[in-house]
């Protein structure tokens, strides 16, 4: 998924660090990435769990490195926060 944004890499780095610092299991990061990708692809509508599950399996099977997952999630977090209200962001995704 290619995002069209003007978010500086240093901001994405900081966001990715916060994701990495939470020490989530690899499978959880795959779920988080799938959740956020589908949310953006669905025009900022919450995707169905079945779709998230399918995408997270696909991500897991592709075996991206842990730090790449953190980077992509951090990037999507910033993109979504800038496209929606911060208050809404906190209630959108899995904990």
For the chain, what is the domain count?
1
CA 24/CA 57 separation, integer angstroms: 16
Q: Which positions ≥6 away from 67 have C-beta within 8 Å?
A: 16, 20
**Residue holding tokens 């299991």?**
25
Mean pLDDT on 62-82? 96
In a 13 Å sphere around the CA of 53, the CA atoms on its Cβ side amount to 3
pLDDT digits (tens, 9 = 90+) for 15-37: 999 999 999 999 999 999 999 99
4 is a domain residue: no
34 is a domain residue: yes
**Residue 38 domain boundaries:** 9-80
93 is a domain residue: no
68 is a domain residue: yes
- This prediction has a pTM of 0.89
């Amino acid at each position: 998924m290619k995002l069209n944004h003007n978010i500086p890499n240093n901001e994405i780095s900081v966001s990715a660090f916060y994701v990495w610092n939470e020490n989530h299991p690899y499978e959880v990061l795959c779920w988080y990435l799938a959740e956020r990708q589908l949310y953006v692809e669905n025009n900022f509508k919450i995707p169905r769990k079945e779709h998230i599950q399918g995408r997270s399996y696909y991500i897991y099977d592709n075996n991206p490195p842990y730090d790449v997952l953190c980077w992509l999630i951090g990037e999507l977090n910033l993109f979504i926060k800038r496209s929606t209200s911060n208050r809404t962001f906190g209630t959108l995704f899995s904990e």
